């Protein structure tokens, strides 16, 4: 089964640079790239071929690497890509399609749900301009909130005080993600720490093909005590889950679960939707909904 990994970040943060570096780190893998929109420094076929002779490219739209410019084309195009190329990893450098929750819902489509699975998200944060973008664009905060690994980029352009200030703000938005400080997104490891619980299970555990994804959106209130009950029961069915839930009229919590371990934190000024995403063997929406509703009846 193909892993799909999201690369997000605000305009000019360094997403394409990170993608180039990840490709260099994965020379032993069969990689495909989806670019959601054209960028001034976009990775084209020639550039990828120069980066590694072993790459086999799927190119459309005058040389761009499998450019998906319309969400409506996503299912059809990713199906064609998998059938023709059969990559081990698909990197989705996303702008418009920047929400892993929505991507997981798309990947549950019957035509591809046995062929590709969501395997995590990188987010590039511009140390120089993050506060400006986060103050005016809610999407940049959401990209940080859903990331598994965050690259704090362009640290050479700011002083230590500003680096620490941005780090504090990023950690306040997402305390679960690992953060790496970098210049030019010069990462040394292409693995996503959180993804290992989902996509790199050994044959002694279970085949990755058996890991399914479910997304549950709800406006229901749940007490923190009942939320804990829900997570304890969910751990019997899910190897990993994360989500945002409403525990009061204007009070929200974020949680993350890995096997039997979970953590709950408070969110300030949260304006996003309430949603839960869970990975597990035979995980389905009706099971996830049932577990949440049963816990909420206690």
Domain boundaries, the chain: 2-197, 211-296
pLDDT tens for the chain, 298 residues long, are 899 998 888 777 888 889 889 988 988 888 888 776 443 334 444 444 545 555 444 443 333 334 444 455 677 778 888 888 889 999 887 764 456 677 777 777 788 888 898 888 999 999 998 877 766 566 677 788 888 999 999 999 999 999 999 999 999 888 889 999 999 999 999 887 654 333 333 323 333 445 788 889 998 999 999 999 999 999 999 988 888 999 988 899 999 888 888 999 888 878 777 889 888 888 899 999 999 999 998 7
- Is 65 in contact with 59 (CB distance < 8 Å)? yes
Contacts of 79 (CB under 8 A, 6+ apart): 111, 112, 115
Bridge partner residues of 60 (DSSP): 64
Question: Tokens representing 275?
Answer: 């949603």
- Is 11 in contact with 41 (CB distance < 8 Å)? no
**What distance in Å separates the CA atoms of residue 116 and residue 112, rounded to the nearest whole number?**
6
- Indicate the CATH number of 211-296 among 3.30.1220.10, 3.90.1150.10, 3.90.950.20, 3.40.50.300: 3.30.1220.10
Element spanning 176, H or E = none
Taking Cα atoms as reference points, which of 150, 103, 106, 105 lies closest to residue 130?
150
Q: What is the pTM of this model?
A: 0.71
Q: Which CATH architecture best describes the domain 2-197?
A: 3-Layer(aba) Sandwich (3.40)
């Amino acid at each position: 089964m193909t892993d799909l990994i999201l690369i997000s970040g605000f305009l000019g943060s360094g997403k394409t640079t990170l993608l180039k570096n990840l490709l260099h780190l994965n020379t032993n893998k069969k990689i495909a790239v989806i670019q959601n929109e054209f960028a001034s420094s976009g990775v084209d076929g020639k550039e990828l071929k120069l980066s590694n002779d072993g790459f086999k490219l799927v190119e459309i739209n005058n040389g761009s690497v499998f450019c998906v410019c319309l969400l409506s084309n996503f299912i059809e195009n990713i199906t064609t890509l998998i059938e023709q190329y059969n990559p081990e990893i698909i990197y989705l450098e996303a702008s418009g399609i920047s929400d892993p929750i929505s991507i997981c819902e798309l990947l549950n489509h019957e035509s591809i749900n046995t062929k590709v699975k969501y395997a995590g998200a990188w987010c590039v944060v511009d140390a120089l301009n993050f506060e400006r973008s986060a103050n005016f664009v809610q999407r940049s905060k959401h990209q940080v909130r859903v990331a598994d690994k965050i690259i704090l980029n362009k640290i050479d352009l700011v002083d230590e005080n500003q680096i620490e200030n941005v780090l504090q703000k990023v950690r306040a938005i997402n305390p679960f993600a690992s953060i790496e400080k970098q210049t030019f997104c010069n990462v040394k490891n292409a693995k996503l720490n959180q993804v290992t619980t989902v996509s790199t299970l050994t044959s002694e555990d279970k085949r990755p093909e058996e890991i399914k994804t479910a997304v549950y959106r709800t406006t229901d209130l749940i007490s923190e005590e009942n939320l804990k009950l829900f997570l304890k029961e969910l751990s019997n069915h899910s190897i990993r889950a994360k989500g945002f839930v409403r525990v009061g009229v204007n009070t929200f919590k974020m949680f993350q679960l890995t096997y039997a371990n979970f953590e709950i934190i408070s969110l300030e000024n949260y304006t996003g939707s309430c949603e839960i995403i869970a990975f597990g063997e035979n995980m389905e929406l009706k099971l996830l909904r049932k577990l949440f509703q049963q816990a909420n009846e206690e």
